[in-house]
Amino acid sequence: MRSAPHSRPSPDLLETLYASKKAFHARRRRLPLRVKVREVIELQRLVLPLLARQRSLRPWERPWQTEP
């Protein structure tokens, strides 16, 4: 069975969304280094438990016990 045709975003809306995403990444690139390092450590805390569900973690794969 074919579903009803979906509404599609206009080219203008798509352009706005892509521009917004580009600006978001540009802002993240300009973050202070200390903030970026804090994010790396937070990512480790988020990602490593998920990674551990897929495979054994290597000895060094654990969140750094350090301040940024």
Partner 1 sequence: MTAAGPTPTFSATLRAINDLKNDGVIEEYAIAGAMALVFWTEPVATYDLDVLIFLPEENRPIVTLGPIYEWAARRGYASEAEHVLIESVPVQFLPSHDELADEAIETARTLDYEGVPVRVVRPEYLVALYLEPSARTRKRRERAAALAESGTLDHDILKELLTRFNLKL
Task: Give residue 38's Cα distance to chain centre.
Answer: 14
Which window, 1-9, 12-20, 22-30, contacts partner 1 (CB under 8 A)? 22-30
DSSP state of 61: -
Which window, 1-9, 10-18, 55-63, contacts partner 1 (CB under 8 A)? 55-63
Is 34:68 a contact under the CB 8 Å cutoff? yes
Polymer length of the chain: 68
Contact residues for partner 1 (CB under 8 A)? 25-26, 28-29, 31, 33-34, 36-37, 39-40, 43-44, 47-48, 58-62, 64-68
